[in-house]
Structure formats: structure tokens, C-alpha cells
Structure 1
Amino acid sequence: MWAGTKLIVAIAVAVMLAIDPSSLSIAAVGVLDLAAIRLARIPRTAFPSVPPPVWAVVLIGSAVLLSASGPPFVVIAGLHVGLGGLFQFLQLSALTIVLLLTGAVLSWTTDVADVAPAIATLGRPLRRLAIPVDDLAVALALALRSFPLLIDEFRVVNAARTLRPAPELSGIRRVRQRIRDGVDLIATVTAMMFRRADEMGDAIAARGGTGQLTAGRTKLRRSDWVALAIAGAVCATALGLDVTVGGIGGPPGRH
């Protein structure tokens, strides 16, 4: 599948959720993400583990918002408890999860080298407005390719810093020493970033310039049209059903 197709679907999903962040729309996007994960055969090991502090924050937030009044109401031990705040918190959490999952699926199934040509092709109409689409696509492609290099460089510098013997300080001196170490680490990583950028620029120039980064396949295949049709049908159905039941602009209790 062409990378531009995935970008179109991701943008359409984000726009739909921005217009109508209802439970039905969130569920529709979740179904699309699960179907994409199934078709792409993404293993379970690709999913990051959730740290315990995140679960603690979720539980605390749920407990705090449980006290907020709002329909629907339930009777617990003779007390009328409104679950409106809790439902809104869960809806917001689900919205965050599906957006992150959509971006993760796009990242897992797309080669970094295919992103720049797709953006250059999709942004072709903007060239009439004198917008440097190719330059923006090249900058994005280089930024995506530089992330792994920067992570490795930071790990090497941090490992070298931890090997140095740390002075035994206490109180305010210890805090000042940590601040100095952080500043030194940032300065070292910045210098290494410039060195990496210079090396990458020489390599790009030796291979024919930045024009090669935006050259790629732009022809839509049958799988691309099928994916666009399915995504469009799901989004249109979700919006149509939500408008029918009064989700857009309706009261929070009906979301």
C-alpha cells in the first residue's frame, strides 16, 4: 500500500475525531486500527508495556471524576452517584488511545523512505501557492531518519557520563552538580548532532542531492482504492449514525 494512502486515512480519522469525538466515532476508529493491525500481522511484542504510574494516574483520575455529577445516575448503597464525569474521562482516554494507535500503526507499517515522496505528492496542489512542498518533505524525511541516530548518540554519551566517578555531595551542591551534568550532556549531544548533520549532508550530496528523497511511486493500486473506500465508508457511517442519534452537538450524556 502506498504511504500516501495511509496518510490520507490518518488525516481523515483525525479530522473526524476533531469534528465529532463521540463514542461511536472513537469505536469506529478503533475497529479500523484493529483491522489494520490484523492485516499487517503486527506482533504483540511491538506494543509497549504500560508503566504502573500510568495506571495509577488513570485510577486516581477516575476516582476524582466519579464525584462529578451528571447523568446517568446509579444507586450505590442508597446514594445517587452520577457517572457522567467518569464516562467523559473514559471517553477522553479512549480518544487518546485510538489517536496514538493510529499513529503507531502508520509508523509500524510504513518505511521512512516512503514518507517524503508521499508528502511531496499529496502537497503538489500547494505549489501553486508558492509553498516549498519538496523542501518541507525533505526536512521531514531527514528528521525521521535522524531520530534513531540521535537516540543512539544520546545513549552513548549518557553511558560515558555514568562511567565517570561522581563526587559525593549533599544538599544544594548535589543539585547544582546535577544541573551542570545536564547542561554538559545537552551541549555534548548538540555538538554530536551537528557532526551527524554534516556527515548526512555530505552523503546526500554524494548521492545526487535531496531530489532523490522525494522521488517514489505515486500510482494508486487496487489495495489503495479499497483501503480508501473502506475508511471513507466507516467514517461516513459513524458520522451519519451519530448525527441521527444526536451525538454531534448533543448533550454529554448521549455521547
Structure 2
Amino acid sequence: MSSQAGAQRARGTRQQRRPVVLLRPVPGDSVVHRLWAGTKLLVVAAIGVLLTFYPGWVPIGAVGVLVLVAARLARVPRGALPSVPGWLIFLVFLGGLTATFAGGSPVIDLGSVEVGLGGLLNFLRITTLSIVLLGLGAMVSWTTNVAEIAPAVATLGRPLRPLRIPVDEWAVSLALALRAFPMLIDEFRVLYAARRLRPKEVLTSRRARRRRWLIEVIDLLAAAITVALRRADEMGDAITARGGAGQISAAPSRPKAIDGWAFLLVLVVCGVALALELTVLGTSAVTR
């Protein structure tokens, strides 16, 4: 009996997955944590523009190296990384297998069969690009306090104020959304766990099971809306007690000397990667 219980506990431990931890900074004090939030937003915007127009292997690899170096400097633990479910790995494998049938150069000979790897390489490039962009966004989330986002956005949008663009209102809306997102995720997890603990009736007909599923979905949506409204009311009272929504974006937020050096380093790395992509490495890849 003890061996069976131990096996069940081990199986339950293996099935437990690490959740996605976003919008919650990793504790610590590193050079990446001390960077201004506006600098991180500008870096993400610059890298996004680069990878939009030049999504080659060299820019993707350069950005990936930057993300890994930043994670090393910020001392992000491995526990912050979410577990990859098996069905996602299967979908990636299935997508790569399907893309292989598209063919294209380069072509390899497997006996009497020629296989074009162009589609597979494009699929791998797009998948790697997605992983790098997700890692970039996660790095900003793990090293930036949510309260620093709104003042940084208000400072960056200051040149747009003469055009009567509501920069402060946009910054406040962004800050409230970022604050509410992890809170609502926790509430939804509690609701989902409570629903799973409810006893289920054994239904034999398919129509009865479908009807019960629809009722459970409606109940879950009603509970989620109620929780969201309650949380919004509590957040509104807290904002009013602290002086109103204008105080969210009114905090002093300015870049420092280290922000200029960090942004210059990112520009140099991206510029070198772009030059290599457009000249040496990019030309050789096209020739092959």
C-alpha cells in the first residue's frame, strides 16, 4: 500500500506543471532591474521593428543572445520558465513535418528521393522568432515593476501632448490593465479549481452531458464577470483613496546614464546583425 501511495504521489508531482508567471518581477537588484521602464519599452519597439522588416537568422540569433545575456544579468531562475505541455510539442512537430512537404532549396538526396528543406527551414525560423519575441516580452515582465510602466509611457508620449493626444489617459488605462491582468488570472484559477471540486452527476445520454457542459460554462462566465466587477470596484476605491487616477502617471520617471549605454549597446548589436544579414551572411544564404 505504501509503494502504491508513493507511486501516486510521484505521478501527481510529475503531472504538476509550472504556470506562466508574467507581469510579476523576479526579486533581485541587478543592472537590468535598475534600467528605466521607458528604455525597455524602446528596446522592445526597436527590436520589433528590426525583426518585422528583417526576420533573418542573424537578427533572430542576435536578439536571442541579448535575451539570454539579460536573463543571466538579471539572475532569472529556471523556475520562472513555464512547463511546455506535451500537446504543444506535438503540434510543433506536426507543423514542421507538414512544412517539409512544401519543399524548396536546399535539397538533400536520400537515396533515390530528393527532399527540399526550404519549407522546414522557414517553419523553424518563424518558430524561433516567436520564441525569441516571447522571451523578450517575458524579460521585460520579469525585471520591471508594473507601477513604473505608466509614468514611463507618459514621459515617452510627452511630445504628443501638443497634438491633444490623451497620453496620460492611455498611460493610466495601460497601468490599470497590467495591474488587473494577473489578479484576474488568479481569480479565474480559483474559480476553475472550485468548479473541479464540485461533485459531478453520472449522466448516460449525450444530450444530458452537453446540456450540463453548457450550464457549467454559463455559471463560470457569470462568476467570472461578478469577480471582475467586484475587483474593479475595490480597485476604484483604492485609486480614489490615493488621490485619483492622475497620480498613477504623475510619478517622476526619467532615464539615467546607464539607460543611454544600454540602448546604445542594443542599437550596436542590432546594427551589426542587420549589416551581416544584408551583406555577408545574407548573400551567402541566398546563393546557397
Q: Which residue of 2 aligns with 1:235?
A: 270
- Does residue 129 of structure 1 match 2:163? yes
**Secondary structure of the equivalent of 1:39?**
helix
Measure the CA separation in 2 of the matches of 1:166 and 1:217: 54
2:135 matched residue in structure 1: 101
Q: Which moved more, 1:207-216 or 1:24-33?
A: 207-216
CA, structure 1 residues 246+44, in 2 after alignment: closer, same or farther (shift >3 Å)?
Answer: closer
Give the alignment's TM-score, normalised by structure 2: 0.83
Q: Which of 100-109 and 207-216 deviates more? A: 207-216
CA contact (8 A) 1:72 1:253 kept: no
Which residue of structure 2 lines up, in the alignment, with residue 207 of structure 1?
Answer: 242
Structure 2 distance, partners of 1:27, 1:221, is 28
Q: Which runs of 5+ in 2 are unaligned?
A: 1-34
Q: Shift of residue 123 of structure 1? A: 1.2
Distance in 1, matches of 2:279 and 2:86, equals 40
Matches within 5 A, 1:1-150: 1-150=35-184
Mapped contact 2:150–2:175 kept (Cα < 8 A): yes
> For 2:207, which of 172, 180, 184 is the aligned residue?
172
Aligned residues: 253
The answer (yes or no) to whether the contact 1:84–1:253 under 8 Å persists in 2 is no
Q: Secondary structure at the match of 1:80?
A: strand
The answer for the alignment partner of 1:216 in structure 2 is 251
More relative contact order in 1 or in 2 (CA 8 Å, sep 6+)? 1
Alpha-carbon offset, residue 89 of structure 1: 0.6
Amino acid at match of 1:220: P
Structure 1 segments unaligned to the other structure (5+ residues): none
The partner residue of 2:218 within 183, 197, 201 is 183
Q: Could you tell me which residue of structure 1 aligns to residue 3 of structure 2?
A: none
Contact 1:5 1:224 in 2 (8 A): yes
Distance 2:285 2:102 in 1: 13
Q: Percent identity?
A: 51
Deviating above 3 A after TM superposition, structure 1's stretches of 4 or more consecutive aligned residues are 250-255
